[in-house]
């Protein structure tokens, strides 16, 4: 990593919440010095068993931060007082990796009881997953606390959807303090992982109401997709988001978009609906190092969306339920 990038990440690694409490990478150095290594070990074992888990854990951090901020609300199960975000449209039959978070939490509770928050576990697991897939690492600012509730309404409204228009996606990012550069860079997380047929079927068969495939979708790629994603049925059939190097964190996601082979409509619109986003897509397609560096910066920025700090929230003993 070059000197300027190291300095930038160092500056970003100490972020101040709205309440004035700081998040910083050394937060657990005294209270739980083995915390980061414990998270890394569990994530490493999980990804070794199933490569797809790297993308799943990375996605959990996104879906948590876009709803009420990075507070672990996504991890809460249904209870007498909580309607879980796991049942929202973006998460239902889609969000996964919760058992891995459970294993991390169990290991941390044995090492240092009620010290490391579930929200911080999500942030660390996202970084470690990126590195295990071949991406650039970053120092994760820590010190988040866990929410006492969830918001299924916020999850349904706030998380960008595969068929959202570009203006809608831009608005959803802007509402949480993320700009156009963050949007394009963070979308690059789709260089790993899978999407279900139901996420892009409309694009294959009736994107504009004429019964045809989206005109921005490469015709041969569309034909290939249709063989396993029919007009009806097969909703949960999985497809790689990056058809070239689906298990490696690189910049082929952007190269695919330039070639008209972005799987989701929300991917392809970055190249077809805005000159500003098109320029960023081209830049990252041509320069993988530039993408990797910006992704790391944007992940730190996203991880600072409305964290609970100080005496707000709590440190859950079990990530699936509040303490009381």
Write out the catalytic residue numbers: 63
61 is in an annotated binding site: no
167 is in an annotated binding site: no
6 is in an annotated binding site: no
Q: Which residues pair with 16 in a beta bridge?
A: 22
134 is in an annotated binding site: no
Question: Which candidate, 149, 71, 151, 145, places its Cα nearest to that of 312?
Answer: 145
85 is in an annotated binding site: yes
Instruction: State the Cα–Cα distance between residues 202 and 1, nearest whole angstrom.
Output: 41
Torsion sign, CA atoms 189, 9, 125, 160: negative
191 is in an annotated binding site: yes
H helices of the chain, where? 3-12, 35-49, 53-65, 98-111, 118-132, 152-158, 166-175, 180-187, 201-205, 219-226, 252-258, 265-272, 275-286, 288-302
Question: Which candidate, 276, 231, 145, 127, places its Cα nearest to that of 189?
Answer: 127
Contact 172, 34 (CB under 8 A): no
298 is in an annotated binding site: no
Q: What share of the chain is helix, strand, coil (3-state, %, to 5)?
A: 50, 5, 45
Cα angle: 210, vertex 214, 216; to 5 degrees:
140
73 is in an annotated binding site: yes
208 is in an annotated binding site: no
214 is in an annotated binding site: no
Instruction: State the Cα–Cα distance between residues 141 and 302, nearest whole angstrom.
Output: 11
Instruction: State the Cα–Cα distance between residues 253 and 190, nearest whole angstrom.
Output: 7
- Quick one: tokens of 172? 């959803």
151 is in an annotated binding site: no
- Known binding positions for substrate: 160
List binding-site positions for heme b. 190
Annotated binding-site members for Ca(2+): 64, 67, 69, 71, 73, 85, 191, 242, 250
Task: Give the annotated binding-site residues.
Answer: 64, 67, 69, 71, 73, 85, 160, 190-191, 242, 250
């Amino acid at each position: 990593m070059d000197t300027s990038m190291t300095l930038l990440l160092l500056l970003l690694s100490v972020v101040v919440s709205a309440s004035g409490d700081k998040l910083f990478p050394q937060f657990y150095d005294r209270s739980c010095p083995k915390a980061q290594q414990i998270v890394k070990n569990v994530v490493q074992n999980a990804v070794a068993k199933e490569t797809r888990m790297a993308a799943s854990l990375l996605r959990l951090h996104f879906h948590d931060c876009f709803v009420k901020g990075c507070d672990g609300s996504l991890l809460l199960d249904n209870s007498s007082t909580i309607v879980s975000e796991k049942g929202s449209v973006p998460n239902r039959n889609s969000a996964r990796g919760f058992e891995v978070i459970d294993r991390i939490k169990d290991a941390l509770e044995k090492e240092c009881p009620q010290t490391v928050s579930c929200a911080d576990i999500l942030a660390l697991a996202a970084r470690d997953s990126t590195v295990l897939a071949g991406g650039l690492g970053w120092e994760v600012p820590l010190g988040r606390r866990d929410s006492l509730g969830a918001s299924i309404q916020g999850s349904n409204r706030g998380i960008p959807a595969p068929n959202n228009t570009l203006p809608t996606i831009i608005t959803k990012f802007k509402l949480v303090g993320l700009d156009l550069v963050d949007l394009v860079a963070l979308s690059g997380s789709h260089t790993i992982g899978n999407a279900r047929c139901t996420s892009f079927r409309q694009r294959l068969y009736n994107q504009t109401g004429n019964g045809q495939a989206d005109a921005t979708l490469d015709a041969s790629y569309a034909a290939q997709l249709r063989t396993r994603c029919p007009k009806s049925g097969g909703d949960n059939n999985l497809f790689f988001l990056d058809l070239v190097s689906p298990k490696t964190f690189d910049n082929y996601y952007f190269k695919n978009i330039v070639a008209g082979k972005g799987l989701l409509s929300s991917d392809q619109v970055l190249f077809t609906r805005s000159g500003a986003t098109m320029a960023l897509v081209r830049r990252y397609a041509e320069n993988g190092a530039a993408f990797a560096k910006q992704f790391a910066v944007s992940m730190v920025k996203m991880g600072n969306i409305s964290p609970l700090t100080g005496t707000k929230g709590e440190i859950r003993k079990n990530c699936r339920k509040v303490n009381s």
